[in-house]
Amino acid sequence: MEEPEHIAQVLQGVKRGLVQQDSALLKELSNQTIHCACTVQDTGSITIAVLVYALSKLIERKDYMRIKKWSLFTKRFNAFLDLAIKAAKEENEEKYTSYLFQARKALTSISVNLKPYIEEVIHKASINKASKIYEHGISLGQTSNILGVTQWELSEYMGQSQKGEEYNRTLDVRKRAKMALEFFS
C-alpha cells in the first residue's frame, strides 16, 4: 500500500468529485493514482484508478441520470471510501482492499437494468488503465494480469490509441528488407 496520507487525500477528492459530479476531477485523480500504482504496483491503487475512471465516464456521459437512486448510491459509495480511508490510515491493507471491493460491488449492483452497461464501462476502464500502466514500462503480460484483461484486448487498445503508436512503430520496408538480407546472409 502506498503512503496512507496520499491515499486519504485521493479518496477525499474522489468523494468530492462524485458529489459534485465533476468528471474532470475524477479523471485527474484516476490518472494520479495509476501513476503512483505503477511505482509500487499496488492493487488497491489500481482498483481505485479503475473505479474512479469508470465513475468519471458515467458522469461525463450523463449516464448517472438514468440511475434512479444515484444520490443514495453516492452516499453508500462514499461511506465505503470513508471506511477505506480509515483502514488505510490504520495501515490495515486487508480491510482497505475489502472496502474497495465493496465499493466496486456497490457500483456494479446499482441498477439491475444498467448492470451489463456498468460492467462494460468498468471493463473498458480496466483496459484504459492497463494501457497507462504499460506506458509506464510495466510489461504487457504483467499489466494484463494485474488488471484482469487479456493481452489481446490490451494490444488492440494500444494499437488503436495514438499513444500506442509510439510503442508499436515498425521499420519502413527498406530497413526491414535490409535486416532480412543481413539475417539470412
Name 5's Cβ contacts closer than 8 Å, sequence gap at least 6: 89
By three-state DSSP, how is residue 128 classified?
Answer: helix
Helix 151-160, helix 140-147: angle, nearest 10 = 110
Is residue 110 within 8 A of residue 69, CB to CB? The reply is yes
The confidence score (pLDDT) of residue 41 equals 64
Place 168 in a pLDDT band, splitting at 50, 70 and 90: very low
What's the CA gap between 41 and 35, in Å, rounded? 10
The confidence score (pLDDT) of residue 45 equals 82
The confidence score (pLDDT) of residue 173 equals 79
What's the CA gap between 98 and 15, in Å, rounded? 18
Residue 54 has, within 13 A of its CA and on its CB side, a CA count of 24
What is the rounded average pLDDT of the residues 104-127? 86
In which element (H, E) is residue 104 found? Answer: helix 93-108
Per the structure, the count of domains in the chain is: 1
What's the CA gap between 148 and 122, in Å, rounded? 11
Count, residues in the chain: 185
pLDDT digits (tens, 9 = 90+) for 169-185: 566 778 778 877 887 77
**Among 6-20, 146-160, 170-184, where is mean pLDDT lowest?**
170-184
Is residue 133 within 8 A of residue 49, CB to CB? The reply is no
pLDDT at 134 over 60: yes
State the DSSP string of 10-59: HHHHHHHHHHHT-HHHHHHHHHHHHHHHHHH--HHHHHHHHHHHHHHHHH
Q: Which is more confident, 78 or 58?
A: 78
Name 169's Cβ contacts closer than 8 Å, sequence gap at least 6: none
Q: Provide the residue range defining the domain that includes 180.
A: 4-184
pLDDT at 29 over 90: yes
